[in-house]
Structure 1
Amino acid sequence: MTLMEDAKKGIITSQIRSVAENEGIDPETVQSCVAGGLVTIPNNIEGNSNPCGIGKYMSTKVNANIGTSRDYIDIDSEVEKAKTAEKYGADTLMDLSTGGDLDTIRKQIMDSINIPFGTVPIYQAASSRKAVVDMSSDDMFNAVLKHAKDGVDFVTIHAGANLNALERLKKSDRITDVVSRGGSFTIAWMVHNEMENPFYDEFDYLLEIAHEYDMTLSLGDGMRPGCIKDASDRPKFMEFITLGELTKKARNQNVQTFVEGPGHVPVDEIELSVQGMKKLCDYAPLYLLGPLVTDIAPGYDHITGAIGGTLAGMYGADFLCMTTPSEHLALPSIEDVKEGAIVTKIAAHSADLVKDGQRERALDSDTKIAFARKNLDWDAQYSLAIDSEKARSIRESRVTGSDACSMCGDLCAMKIVKDALEKSRNKDDRI
């Protein structure tokens, strides 16, 4: 049985217990949410990753994307990026490799981490042919099956990018058309072959594979908007409707899913995007790239994505895909991955401060560091910081004779008031 089948029977599995303990929630709540498709725990029966809960009442999770390109193939570098992402807070990792020996790359990355691992099988299907449009439906499904057998915990499948969505795209006035790589493969294939998307047309077969290996389906956002001007248009919402229908099918077959969303969205439309997707997809866990809130910040899109991710998390997004400073510019470096992971983790935590099920737990960390700051307890502050190494490095590179920071020194506001209040209390005690 799949994890969802067990949950529907009221069985509390080891994965459910582990997630409940990690989240500070009772196991029965987790079991009920998994049964209803409101929480997903990607955990392929052939894999060995640590269970991670994504969805209702769970802390907001962070995914890191890494992988080779056809221009840069360095397996050792990608393995180091994977380790770096996990070290600095990524809860899951996806290999988006398109260049080199994809089987070897995937295996080496999987073996280097303990967090749930995802892929986009259509990339491998496309690599087997001279041109993307030359893929067969067998190529696509064989790639999915191969990744399932290899122990991949979740796969992005752009099943919602179908002929209906394509018609909406043709009639739209989009600037960026399709920016999802997997979505572009799918759209180009349908246009060239004049056929329906095989992942949509044969979705039941996809469910059979996923069910056999208890592999989670991440229903991809092939039509996500690629710039602020294109946000919240008809192609995007057409895909949302289809993803909701496919989510219902998957639940009926006891296959875990989450759904992917945009993209580039201005801050005043993030609530619409998140709550619209949640409603249309029966409150399945929602996985967002960013969203990026402006198009004018190349080199800083880890920040534009974190701004959007914080708001999206507040409105109900469950899972944030990090962006790095290299977004739109280049393959990310190891340092880019580190920055992206940390900044997105900050966004996730900021969202948790206002989310049901996590509010008190998240606030506890902020409260502890507030007391540490008041007491000028630097070691405690370092231990509580998301990036303790950077915090320590900055302070210790500019230490003065004061026990406060070098910005204020003996003029530290908290130190002055603390000393004044202590003198006042001592005076009152003597009276």
Structure 2
Amino acid sequence: MTYTTQLDAARKGIITKEMEIVADKEMMDVEELRELIAQGKVVIPANKNHKSLSPEGIGKGLKTKINVNLGISRDCKDIDRELEKVKTAIEMKAEAIMDLSNYGKTREFREKVVEISPAMIGSVPMYDAVGFTETALVKITEEQFLQVIEQHAKDGVDFMTIHAGLTKEIGDRIAKDKRLTHIVSRGGSLLFGWMYMNNKENPMLTNFDKILDICEKYDVTLSLGDACRPGSIADATDYAQIQELINLGELTKRAWERNVQVMIEGPGHMAINEIEANVMLEKKLCHEAPFYVLGPLVTDVAPGYDHITSAIGGALAASKGVDFLCYVTPAEHLRLPDLNDMKEGIVATKIAAHAGDIAKGIKGAREWDNAMSKARADLDWATMFELALDPEKPRKYRDSSKPEHEDSCTMCGKMCALRTVNKIFNGEEVDLVFD
């Protein structure tokens, strides 16, 4: 029996090789996974042209995945430098990489990333439209937008952000309500500009069926973008954000009718007490499609530390049902991240994802922590480093300040609580003076 997409296969009762790989990674029965995919609650972004892919699942009952944003820009267009970041992200086991290139040799970079990456690859074709067409934004035709989308699909991109939920009516409301940070989505702002300069409706919406044709042909997962995501906690959960989310729920059903996999993008900046309600709204309004969030950043006052404000929000969001976290680096709002920024962002987001998995009861999550706790109780430094999410940093800390006794550290020395209790349990006497 033939199939067009992972969703089509799942609905026909077909177990694909991608489903088998994901089920093995998740320690899940493959038939259970197939059913979740058939219901739209799980996606496996797997473009038919991405030959180096090691498939991952995103959605209900699966480990929370993380995405790393990369790409060249007008001010930072060194392809080799960005490829170094790609290779490091892969080494650090990021499950997804989004190529957000918006200047210069974007296709050359994209093709290299797809060629070498076992991680799933995402993109935002809207970013590439001006460079692809070599024309002013206002003059880009609807057919040219579709050409950019198809080129990304041909090149092997596994999921694409398409801002089809933004409408002219929502744009009018944003202009009227005077949001504090207006539209902070780059793709959303470009579409907003095109719509208003041409006095036309969103071309991603009016051409949505043609976009579905492309996605079905290559099995590209639609990541329905939140053009109206809040860029400040003041704008969170407002009319524009929620109306767009309602629209995305309707577009989800249209995509599913065409066997196109869908996930929904979400905020953004948001006070911590609003996160749980926003997760519930997305799951209700978008029929339990997987939820992909940037952050949420829980305060606006920590530039230089936004990987922390994001991890706080991401951990809570994941614990309440978010399936996919986009990393945020210390450079957010300030510059293109360098390699060290990227590493810090990955680690912070992985911590958030794992904390969420513990709360969700994901298989194997708590066992990892228990193994680390056992190694700590045994003062087994080698095992602690092996189990560490980032083994390099704790080894450096340990090596930089050596204790007198190997079974302690330089904070407590012989007064180490675990060392003391272990000695008592082993029938030894504790002598802090002469030991």
2:331 is the counterpart of 1:326: yes
Give the whole-Å Cα distance in 1 for the aligned partners of 2:308 and 2:241.
24
Give the whole-Å Cα distance in 1 for the aligned partners of 2:200 and 2:170.
13
SS of residue in 1 equivalent to 2:319: helix
* Alignment-derived partner of residue 115 in structure 2: 111
- State the aligned residue count: 423
Which region of structure 1 is more displaced relative to structure 2, 167-176 or 139-148?
Answer: 167-176
Give the whole-Å Cα distance in 2 for the aligned partners of 1:134 and 1:318.
38
* Alignment-derived partner of residue 336 in structure 1: 341
* Alignment-derived partner of residue 373 in structure 1: 376
Give the whole-Å Cα distance in 2 for the aligned partners of 1:133 and 1:89.
40
Structure 2 counterpart of 1:417, from 398, 416, 421: 421
* CA deviation vs aligned residue, 1:328-371 (integer Å, no higher than 9, x gap): 00000011111101110010000000114x1x410000000000
* Alignment-derived partner of residue 296 in structure 2: 291
SS of residue in 2 equivalent to 1:170: helix
- Letter paired with 1:391: P
Do the aligned residues in 1 keep the contact of 2:45 with 2:55 (CA within 8 Å)? yes
* CA deviation vs aligned residue, 1:14-70 (integer Å, no higher than 9, x gap): 111110100111101110011111000000011121110000011000000011111
- Letter paired with 2:81: S
| TM-fit CA distance, 1:424 | 8.6
**Aligned pairs for 1:42-61 within 5 A:** 42-48=45-51, 49-61=53-65
* CA deviation vs aligned residue, 1:356-414 (integer Å, no higher than 9, x gap): 4x1x4100000000000000111100010010011111101111221211111111101
**Aligned pairs for 1:243-262 within 5 A:** 243-262=248-267
TM-score (norm 1): 0.96
SS of residue in 2 equivalent to 1:423: coil
Give the whole-Å Cα distance in 2 for the aligned partners of 1:331 and 1:147.
23
Give the whole-Å Cα distance in 2 for the aligned partners of 1:378 and 1:164.
60
SS of residue in 1 equivalent to 2:67: strand
| TM-fit CA distance, 1:171 | 2.8
SS of residue in 1 equivalent to 2:403: coil
| TM-fit CA distance, 1:131 | 2.5
SS of residue in 2 equivalent to 1:147: helix
Give the whole-Å Cα distance in 1 for the aligned partners of 2:141 and 2:350.
39
2:39 is the counterpart of 1:36: yes
2:213 is the counterpart of 1:208: yes
SS of residue in 2 equivalent to 1:353: helix
Aligned-residue RMSD, C-alpha: 1.2
**Aligned pairs for 1:20-419 within 5 A:** 20-48=23-51, 49-127=53-131, 128-356=133-361, 358=362, 360-403=363-406, 404-419=408-423
SS of residue in 2 equivalent to 1:303: helix
SS of residue in 2 equivalent to 1:386: coil
SS of residue in 2 equivalent to 1:176: coil
Which region of structure 1 is more displaced relative to structure 2, 390-399 or 235-244?
Answer: 390-399
Which region of structure 1 is more displaced relative to structure 2, 168-177 or 329-338?
Answer: 168-177
Do the aligned residues in 2 keep the contact of 1:258 with 1:284 (CA within 8 Å)? yes
SS of residue in 2 equivalent to 1:139: helix
Do the aligned residues in 1 keep the contact of 2:50 with 2:115 (CA within 8 Å)? no
Do the aligned residues in 2 keep the contact of 1:90 with 1:341 (CA within 8 Å)? yes
Give the whole-Å Cα distance in 2 for the aligned partners of 1:173 and 1:311.
29
Give the whole-Å Cα distance in 2 for the aligned partners of 1:134 and 1:70.
21
Give the whole-Å Cα distance in 2 for the aligned partners of 1:14 and 1:355.
27
- Letter paired with 2:400: S
Do the aligned residues in 1 keep the contact of 2:102 with 2:127 (CA within 8 Å)? yes
Query: Unaligned 5+ residue runs, structure 2?
Result: 430-435
- Letter paired with 1:4: L
2:22 is the counterpart of 1:5: no
- Letter paired with 1:70: R
- Letter paired with 2:256: R
Give the whole-Å Cα distance in 1 for the aligned partners of 2:195 and 2:202.
6
Do the aligned residues in 2 keep the contact of 1:168 with 1:238 (CA within 8 Å)? no
Do the aligned residues in 2 keep the contact of 1:82 with 1:112 (CA within 8 Å)? no
TM-score (norm 2): 0.95
- Letter paired with 2:13: G
- Letter paired with 2:385: Y
SS of residue in 1 equivalent to 2:66: strand
State the identity %.
Answer: 47
* Alignment-derived partner of residue 433 in structure 2: none
* CA deviation vs aligned residue, 1:93-146 (integer Å, no higher than 9, x gap): 000011211111111222232110011111121222442222111111001101
SS of residue in 2 equivalent to 1:31: helix
Give the whole-Å Cα distance in 1 for the aligned partners of 2:178 and 2:275.
21
Give the whole-Å Cα distance in 2 for the aligned partners of 1:126 and 1:272.
37
SS of residue in 1 equivalent to 2:364: helix
Would you identify which runs of 4 or more consecutive aligned residues in structure 1 move more than 4 Å? Answer: none
Give the whole-Å Cα distance in 2 for the aligned partners of 1:55 and 1:164.
31
